Chain A
Amino acid sequence: MLSLKFVGQTLVIAAVFLGPVNCWSATPTNILVMAKSLDDLITLDPAEAFEFSGTEIIGNLYDRLFEANRVGPGEPTPSLAQSWSVSEDGRSYEFLLKEGPVFENGRPVSAFDVVFSLRRSVILNKTPSFILSQLGFTKQNVGARVRAIDARRFVLETDRDYAPSLVMNILSSAMTSIVDREVVLAHEQDGDLGHEWLRSHSAGSGPFRLHRWNVGEYVMLEANHEYPNASTKIERFVIRDIREPATQRLMLIRGDIDIARDLGPDQIAALAEEPGIATWSAPQARIFYMALNQKNPILALTQVQLAIRYSIDYQNIVRHLLPGRAEVHQAFLPKGFIGALKETPFVLDTARARRLLIEAGHGKGFSIKADVRSDPLALQIAQAIQASLAEAGIVMDLQPGDGKQVLTKYRARRHDVYLGYWGPDYLDPHSNAAAFARNVNNANDAVDKTLAWRNSWEIPDITRRTDEATLVRDPSDRAEAYRKLQRSLQTNSPFIILFQERALFAMRKEVTGLEVGLTADQIRYERVSK
Chain B
Amino acid sequence: MKIARDASHASGAPSSRGQAKLARFSLFWRLLSQNLMAMVGLGVVILLAVVALLGPVLSPHDPYAQDLAVRLMPPNMSYWFGTDELGRDIFSRVLHGARITLSIVVLVAVIAAPFGLILGCVSGYRGGWFDLAIMRITDIFLAFPRLILALAFVAALGPGIENAVIAIALTSWPVYARVARAETLLVRSANYVSAARLQGASSWRVIRRYVIPMCVNSMVVRVTLDMAGIILTAAGLGFLGLGAKPPSPEWGAMIANGRQYLFDQWWLATMPGLAILFVSLGFNLLGDGLRDAFDPRG
Q: Which residue of B lies closest to A400 (CB)?
A: B241
Indicate whether A219 reaches chain B with its CB closer than 8 angstroms: no
Check if B263 sits within 8 Å of A383, measured CB to CB.
no
Check if A320 sits within 8 Å of B241, measured CB to CB.
no
Indicate whether A30 reaches chain B with its CB closer than 8 angstroms: no
Check if A397 sits within 8 Å of B245, measured CB to CB.
yes
Cβ contact of B257, chosen from A376, A402, A405, cutoff 8 A: A376
Most buried by A among B64, B66, B241, B246: B241
A372-408: which have CB < 8 Å to B? Answer: 373-376, 379-380, 382-384, 386-387, 397-402, 405
Complex: A383 Cα to B241 Cα, angstroms: 14
Indicate whether B296 reaches chain A with its CB closer than 8 angstroms: no
> How many of chain A's residues have a CB under 8 angstroms from any CB in B?
30
Most buried by B among A376, A386, A400, A405: A400
User: Which stretch from A262-270, A425-433, A500-508 is at the chain B interface?
Assistant: A262-270
Task: Note all chain A residues with C-beta closer than 8 A to B71.
Answer: 320
Indicate whether B43 reaches chain A with its CB closer than 8 angstroms: no
Task: Note all chain A residues with C-beta closer than 8 A to B260.
Answer: 245-246, 264, 266-267, 376
Check if A270 sits within 8 Å of B68, measured CB to CB.
no
Total residue contacts A-B, CB cutoff 8 A: 73
Indicate whether B86 reaches chain A with its CB closer than 8 angstroms: yes
Take A266-B260, A401-B242 as given contacts and tell me if A383 and B68 are in contact as well, using a CB distance cutoff of 8 Å: no
Check if A401 sits within 8 Å of B159, measured CB to CB.
yes
Indicate whether A524 reaches chain B with its CB closer than 8 angstroms: no
Check if A270 sits within 8 Å of B264, measured CB to CB.
yes
Complex: A383 Cα to B86 Cα, angstroms: 8
Cβ contact of A387, chosen from B66, B240, B257, cutoff 8 A: B66
B243-263: contact bitstring with A at CB < 8 Å (1 yes, 0 no)? 001110000000001011111
Check if B241 sits within 8 Å of A402, measured CB to CB.
yes
Indicate whether B132 reaches chain A with its CB closer than 8 angstroms: no
Indicate whether B292 reaches chain A with its CB closer than 8 angstroms: no
Indicate whether B167 reaches chain A with its CB closer than 8 angstroms: no
Task: Note all chain B residues with C-beta closer than 8 A to A321.
Answer: 68, 85-86
Complex: A387 Cα to B88 Cα, angstroms: 12
Query: Given A376-B260, A383-B247, A399-B245, 17 other A-B contacts at CB below 8 A?
Result: A246-B263, A249-B263, A264-B260, A266-B260, A270-B263, A320-B68, A374-B241, A376-B257, A379-B241, A383-B66, A386-B247, A387-B66, A398-B246, A400-B241, A401-B159, A402-B241, A405-B155
Q: How large is the interface on B (under 10, 10 to 19, 20 to 34, 35 or more residues)?
A: 20 to 34
Q: Which residue of B lies closest to A373 (CB)?
A: B241
| Top 3 closest pairs, chain A to chain B, by CB | A374-B241, A320-B68, A270-B264
Main secondary structure of the interface of B (DSSP, over half): loop
Indicate whether B158 reaches chain A with its CB closer than 8 angstroms: yes
Cβ contact of A380, chosen from B85, B262, B264, B265, cutoff 8 A: B85
Indicate whether A29 reaches chain B with its CB closer than 8 angstroms: no
Residue pairs across A and B with Cβ atoms less than 8 A apart, 6 shown, are: A270-B263, A317-B68, A321-B85, A376-B260, A387-B86, A401-B242
Most buried by B among A264, A379, A380, A382: A379
Task: Note all chain B residues with C-beta closer than 8 A to A266.
Answer: 72, 85, 260-261, 264-265
Cβ contact of B68, chosen from A246, A249, A316, A405, cutoff 8 A: A316
Q: Which residue of B lies closest to A399 (CB)?
A: B159
Complex: A405 Cα to B151 Cα, angstroms: 13
Q: Which residue of B lies closest to A270 (CB)?
A: B264
Complex: A46 Cα to B59 Cα, angstroms: 56
A248 to B: closest C-beta gap in Å: 11
Most buried by A among B71, B159, B242, B262: B159
B221-243: which have CB < 8 Å to A? Answer: 240-242
Complex: A249 Cα to B260 Cα, angstroms: 10
Complex: A384 Cα to B69 Cα, angstroms: 12
B54-76: which have CB < 8 Å to A? Answer: 64, 66, 68-69, 71-72
Check if A380 sits within 8 Å of B86, measured CB to CB.
yes
Complex: A50 Cα to B257 Cα, angstroms: 29
Complex: A374 Cα to B265 Cα, angstroms: 21
B257-281: which have CB < 8 Å to A? Answer: 257, 259-265
Q: Which residue of B lies closest to A380 (CB)?
A: B85
A155 to B: closest C-beta gap in Å: 51
Check if A374 sits within 8 Å of B259, measured CB to CB.
no
Take A267-B260, A405-B155 as given contacts and tell me if A384 and B68 are in contact as well, using a CB distance cutoff of 8 Å: yes
Take A266-B85, A380-B85, A383-B86 as given contacts and tell me if A399 and B158 are in contact as well, using a CB distance cutoff of 8 Å: yes
Complex: A320 Cα to B86 Cα, angstroms: 9
Complex: A427 Cα to B261 Cα, angstroms: 35
